[in-house]
Amino acid sequence: MVAAQDGDREAFADLVRKYTGVVRALAAARVGWGPVADDVVQDVFLLALRRLDSVSEPERFAGWISRIAVNRAREVLRREAPRRAASLDQIPVEPTAAVGPDRLEIEDEVSRMLTAIGTLDQKTQLVLTLRFREDVAVKDIAERLGDQPPAVSMRITRALRRLRDLLGEAPQ
């Protein structure tokens, strides 16, 4: 992160590779999968490149880039809403943020989770997003990705195990 702030393009490219899956998942959760989400991802990383020097705490990069992604996706929704004639109840809304010390704890936990998810390969990030964010059935994910359902199930199991290890949580 610090190297990217110092102008190292390869370091920034590493950040893009690491966080593209998370940014795409956040964008797609708001604007749907497809070219619009891809445009949001591109916009997010262009904005991030321009504003990289504003990150004072490199360990909070995951939360910072995620906030940019959510805000950019919301801007796209607002701009596209009249064209889509979408009703307000169809637009996903996040719960009101907590106030006080709890909010900081939540932000830290979200940052830890996003950082951990960012360590997973992009296909695994996509599978987890489809399964848990979009509630897509394993067999449908397998069909979309051209995989077999048992392979998708194993990918999910291994990813969750890896996330538990990274976050230091006991299995349930």
Pair 73, 130 in one domain: no
Residue 88 sits in a domain whose CATH number is 1.10.1740.10
At 69-85, the pLDDT tens digits run 888 888 887 877 555 44
Residue 132 falls inside a structural domain: yes
Is there a single domain that holds both residue 6 and residue 86? yes
pLDDT, tens digit (0-9, with 9 covering 90-100), for 83-134 = 544 444 444 545 444 444 555 666 667 667 777 887 888 788 888 877 877 7
Contacts of 41 (CB under 8 A, 6+ apart): 20, 23, 24, 27, 69
Indicate whether 106 belongs to any domain.
no
- Is 171 contained in some domain? yes
| Percent of the residues in the chain that have a pLDDT greater than 70, as a whole number | 78
Cα(169)–Cα(172) distance, integer angstroms: 9
Alpha-carbon gap, residue 62 to 111, rounded angstroms: 6
Domain span holding position 55:
2-98
Q: What is the pLDDT of residues 33-65, one digit of tens each?
A: 778 888 999 999 999 988 888 888 877 887 788
